[in-house]
Structures are given as C-alpha cells and as structure tokens.
Chain A
Amino acid sequence: MNKIQLPFDDQTILALKVGDPLYLSGVMVTGRDTVHKWMVDTFIKKTRPPAGDDLQVYQAIQPLLAGSCIYHCGPVVSGLDTQEYRFVAAGPTTSSREEPYQGDVMRHFKIQGVIGKGGMGPKTLQACAEVPGVYLHAIGGAASLIAQTVKRVLGVYKLEFGVPEAMWVIEVEDFPVVVTMDAHGNSLHAEVAQRSKAVLDELLAKA
C-alpha cells in the first residue's frame, strides 16, 4: 500500500499504474457539476464574464489545485449554522458527468489527481497523459469512512451553489483510493467494459 503526500510530483504520477491502491494525505478541493461548468464557462472558454467573487475565488483555488486533487463529491456537512464545518458523509459521486469538462480543467489548473467513481472517458485519459495525472477511484458509497479521513475543513468557496455543489477545501489523512486510469493511457474501466461486452454478446446469443 502506497502512502502519498499531496501535492504530487511528476515522478510519482508517472510511477503509478492501474490497480495501485493508495492512501492520500494532504489538501484537496471538492468540485462537481456546477463547479466544473463554472470553471470552464468563466475561466477557460470564457463564455460568461466573471461576476461577484469569481476572480477572488479563482485566485484562492489556483494554488490549492495545482499538483493536487479535485474530488467529485457532494458531502453531508454539519455545523452549517455555526460555520464549524465537519464532514459527516463524503463518498465520491459519478465522474462521467464531468467528462466534457475535466480534461480542460486539469490542464488549466494543473490538477494531477481526479478522484471520483465510475471512471472517465478518452478526453480525460488524454489529459492524464499530458498533464500528467491519474484518475483515482474512491469507494462509492463509503461515505462515513471517507468522512473520517477528512481531518479538517479548511474553507469553502461558492457555498451559494449549494452544500453538495460548493468547493470544500479539506485536509485528509489516509484517504483510500485505487488508480484506475494512469498517465500511460491505461484505463481499468475501458478494460472491464471491453471484457464484459464480449461476455454480454455471448449471453445475448443464447435463448
């Protein structure tokens, strides 16, 4: 079992391969549907002008994301009224919804780890090879357990997107993941999809 201290460096990323279990420690940021669309529309494709605190948030998250991870997660958080935030449940959400955005977001912010569930497609795999980066699969639904690895909530941006959609800056310790897409073009998801398709075709041929 590999223990990793975030941020990554290129050498570590390049040494990782599909199937490696890892324990991550350090600072990462959550982000899902609204965040990805906001990042792409406002800062990458620039189809909408920055508004409100967009630019301040951009500056704040840049150094946090560079070399680190974005976590596809919409947590259950306690302490919303007192702002003494604590993660109560924090498993991964389905990553494929971010496929249209993820590659560009990785390149723009130099994100080297994308954490989620279900894997992603060819555009993200391509970005993993370029940046370089990896896709890390967390255990879907293991929300209480993962929340326990979140030692501190350091802050939150864009809370107006809603609790699940906000960007939560968290410090984790021994967060368990598995590398399922590496920087060398390998994807466990593509492999399993291909193998299971062959079996499905055989089963469909039977009465």
Chain B
Amino acid sequence: MQDLTSEILELVRLTSTDLPPDVEAALREATQAEEPGSAARNALDTILMNVELSRRNSTPICQDTGTPIFFVRYPEGWSTRQLRAQIENAVAEATRKAYLRPNAVDSLSGKNSGNNLGDDHFPTVHFEEVEGEALTIELILKGGGCENVGAQYSLPNAALGAGRDLAGVRKVVLDAVHKAQGQGCAPGILGVAVGGDRGTSYLASKEALLRRLDQPSDDPELAELEQRLTQEANQLEIGPMGFGGKTTVLATKMTSLHRLPASFFVTISYMCWAYRRRKMTLRNGQVSYE
C-alpha cells in the first residue's frame, strides 16, 4: 500500500491556509452589497485581505484550525487502519509546522495533547469503500465558534410553530441563524439535514457542507428551500460579524435522510466564512488537489 503521509500533509496545509475559490468569490460578491465605510464592509475587506495574506505566507486563515474532519473514499484493497495512521502522522506533522493549532483537549483532565491527536475521534475520520480506482480524501477544518452554534431541533416545535414538514424545517433553520448571531463568524454557510437519528443527522449536516457553493441539492424541493433560506436569513440583517448588514449567510446546503416514524430531527451545522474544505484525489498513482 502506498504511503500518502506527505500528500495528506499537503492537503492539511492547503486546507488551513488557502480558502477554496468558490468561497472567496462568494465573499467578494458579498462586499458589493455592503455600504462602503460601514463596519460590515470593513469586516469583509479585512477578511479578504486576510485570505490573500494566508495564501501568500502559507499561514492558517484562522487560528482556530478546528476539528480536522476527514472523509475518505477508498477503492477495494486499501487498509483503513494504515490510512488512519498516515492521516494521524500528517496531522501531527502539520501541527509541528504550525498549519494547525494544538486543539485536542482531554475532556476529563483538561490537558491538551499538543499534537492534535486524541482518541479514536480526534481527528475525525470517516471511511467508505467505493467502486472504481480513485481514492479521495476530503478534509474540513471546523472551528469551535461555529460548531458551538450548530443546533438540532426535534419537530414539532410548538414555540416556533414548526410542524413536521418543510415549512417547519424552514422555521427552525431561521431560528438557528438568529441564535447564532455574533458567534459563528458570519457570513456563514448552513449545512442542514432533515431526518435521521440524532447522530446520523449531525453527520449528514456536515457532509452536506462538502458540496460546492453553487451546487444545489439534487432534490428540487430542497434546492428551492436552500435558496429561500439563504434569502430569508439575509433579511435578518445580522451581517458580517454580526455588525448589521446585508450578508449573513452565503449559502444553504440541504440533505434528507430516512427517519423513524416517531422522530423528525432537523440538524443545522453552521460553518463560518473560514470555510476550509479541500479534496485530494489519487488516481493512477497521481495525486491532485481541488
């Protein structure tokens, strides 16, 4: 089996220091909506300067380099145990090189492990065997500020008047955006999962964030709701950093899962503007990044 440690290290470096082009373009577009000289406009201008600087100097876009969440899709014949070891080596090396901040804290002792390695869930690695020859590794770095404002609702929700349908889903998502203000470094991106159990719903809401910003849901009903939610969230005028302004949410990514008859969960993973997600593909012995 091929050793991919240095290729994965490059994936981590790229993810931490070089914001994906679709996210940067969306931020640039957002600046146009804000009044020149306003706090919101200044915030976005500063964010974009920071993005350029990080790329140029190969330094972390944000100091909270978050939980490294890997999604590995591998063809038959690979050892997930070895892949996991390579990922862990790459993460520890990336921490030494200051691409990542030491972020893994023992919940009982409070001790920081110093190298971003913890138990079986830090870093988080999801494996899936797939057909074909290509191996892909996608990485999201998800910071604590935005992770803390993620939310899960169990419908019906009487306080919000939200029933067990997409109209109810819309209401709780808007509520979550309102509650997140000031805390998730807006403008953000919403990953929303409808259904599942509490665990699968959170996972699916994160997986939804792997889609490009301009890629709507395959389901026409969800695609329409994605658009509407982004638009309505922006009517709240919470604005960049919560300073007030036109852009609160850059995009909404929805997905749905089967659920139990008794359960109807809606899970929102809020991603901050520092939407660090990258992908590497190994095909015919060649590695490429996007």
Task: Give the residues from 118 to 164 in chain A that come closer than 8 angstroms, CB to CB, to chain B.
Answer: 118-119, 137, 139-148, 162-164
Cβ–Cβ contact A21 & B42, under 8 A:
yes
Task: Give the residues from 179 to 215 in chain B that come closer than 8 angstroms, CB to CB, to chain A.
Answer: 181-183, 185
> Which residue of chain A is the closest to B60 with respect to CB atoms?
A89
Cβ–Cβ contact B274 & A141, under 8 A:
yes
Which listed residue (A139, A162, A180) contacts B105, Cβ 8 A? A162
- Greatest chain A CB density within 10 A among B60, B111, B175, B232 is at B60
Q: Does any Cβ of B come within 8 Å of A191's Cβ?
A: yes
> Which residue of chain B is the closest to A118 with respect to CB atoms?
B182
Q: Does any Cβ of B come within 8 Å of A112's Cβ?
A: no
Cβ–Cβ contact B53 & A148, under 8 A:
yes
Q: How far is the CA of A93 from the CA of B182 in the complex (A)?
A: 11
- Greatest chain B CB density within 10 A among A142, A193, A199 is at A142
Task: Give the residues from 36 to 79 in chain A that come closer than 8 angstroms, CB to CB, to chain B.
Answer: 73-78
Chain A residues near B239: list those with CB within 8 A. 192
Q: What are 29 A-B pairs with beta-carbon distances under 8 A?
A: A76-B98, A76-B101, A78-B98, A89-B60, A89-B61, A89-B62, A90-B63, A94-B183, A117-B182, A118-B182, A139-B47, A139-B50, A139-B241, A141-B47, A141-B185, A141-B272, A142-B49, A144-B50, A144-B53, A162-B114, A164-B63, A165-B112, A178-B42, A188-B243, A192-B182, A193-B181, A195-B244, A200-B174, A204-B161
List chain B positions with a Cβ less than 8 A from chain A: 39, 42-43, 46-47, 49-50, 53-54, 57, 59-65, 98, 100-103, 105, 110-112, 114, 143-145, 148, 160-161, 167, 171, 174-175, 178, 181-183, 185, 232, 235-239, 241-244, 272-274
The 9 closest A-B pairs by CB, nearest first: A89-B63, A140-B185, A162-B112, A118-B182, A145-B50, A142-B50, A89-B60, A143-B63, A141-B62
